[in-house]
């Protein structure tokens, strides 16, 4: 996403700088105006920047027509969208992106920057395993079932049976794979008092034959 004109960063906080039109420099007695957007979020800064650009343009037009004082006062120039509510008038040629930003800014002012996208419901590792094993169409031998149970027990120990699938990250998946790929068959029978991580380290050190790749992949 290309950075908007006038958007810049000081430390961790985003700012917006607007150039005063040349015909208003003498009246406003400034060549540019800078305003902190008071946010570290780039997405929020983009939204506020678009709204602020619209509000400054509206103020410049009012100064030209004599409807507003040329003295720059932030509380008068900015956030009219919020204070005027439904009475705010948008130009007929206002583009859709600016309109969306105005609407988003209103929402941000009301509920703050902490809006989180609604997450889709996710099932746990335990629920996933139970659904998989309950598939009536699958024809599994006792040996296969035991192999699946072994892998599930490893996941349960390493991640927790209540871990939601939707919250798994790449680092967690790599960690599990790195441990399980060295675990030998019948690991818990051979090392009943060891954790999966300990078993993996012992098997790797001793050069023991790991579980079949097909079992791990499944």
Q: What is the pLDDT of residue 95?
A: 56
Which residues in the chain come in under a pLDDT of 50? 1, 79-89, 110-115
Same domain as 66, residue 12: yes
DSSP helix/strand/coil, 184: strand
Same domain as 130, residue 65: no
Q: Domain for residue 119, yes or no?
A: no
- The count of domains in the chain is 2
Q: For residue 189, give its domain range.
A: 125-217
Q: Domain for residue 117, yes or no?
A: no
Q: What is the pLDDT of residue 183?
A: 80
Strand 13-19 to 7-10 pairing: antiparallel
Same domain as 50, residue 132: no
Same domain as 163, residue 192: yes
Same domain as 50, residue 138: no
Same domain as 94, residue 151: no
The predicted-structure confidence for 95-124, as pLDDT tens digits, reads as follows 555 555 556 555 555 444 444 555 556 788
pTM above 0.85, yes or no: no
Same domain as 177, residue 139: yes
Q: How far apart are CA 171 and CA 179, in angstroms?
A: 12
Q: What is the pLDDT of residue 82?
A: 38
Q: Domain for residue 169, yes or no?
A: yes
């Amino acid at each position: 996403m290309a950075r908007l004109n006038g958007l810049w960063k000081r430390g961790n906080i985003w700012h917006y700088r607007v150039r005063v039109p040349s015909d208003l420099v003498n009246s406003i007695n400034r060549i540019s105006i800078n305003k902190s957007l008071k946010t570290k979020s780039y997405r929020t800064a983009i939204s506020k920047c678009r709204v602020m650009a619209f509000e400054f343009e509206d103020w410049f037009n009012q100064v030209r027509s004599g409807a507003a004082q040329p003295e720059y006062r932030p509380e008068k120039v900015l956030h009219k969208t919020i204070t005027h509510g439904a009475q705010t008038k948008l130009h007929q040629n206002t583009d859709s992106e600016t309109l969306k930003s105005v609407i988003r800014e209103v929402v941000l002012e009301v509920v703050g920057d902490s809006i989180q996208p609604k997450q889709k419901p996710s099932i746990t590792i335990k629920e996933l395993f139970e659904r998989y094993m309950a598939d009536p169409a699958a024809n599994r031998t006792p040996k296969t079932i035991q192999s699946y149970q072994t892998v599930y027990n490893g996941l349960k120990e390493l991640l927790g049976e209540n871990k939601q699938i939707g919250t798994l990250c790449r680092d967690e998946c790599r960690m599990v794979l790195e441990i399980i790929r060295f675990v030998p068959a019948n690991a818990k029978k051979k090392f009943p008092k060891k954790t999966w991580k300990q078993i993996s380290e012992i098997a790797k050190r001793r050069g023991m034959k790991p579980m079949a790749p097909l079992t791990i992949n499944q």
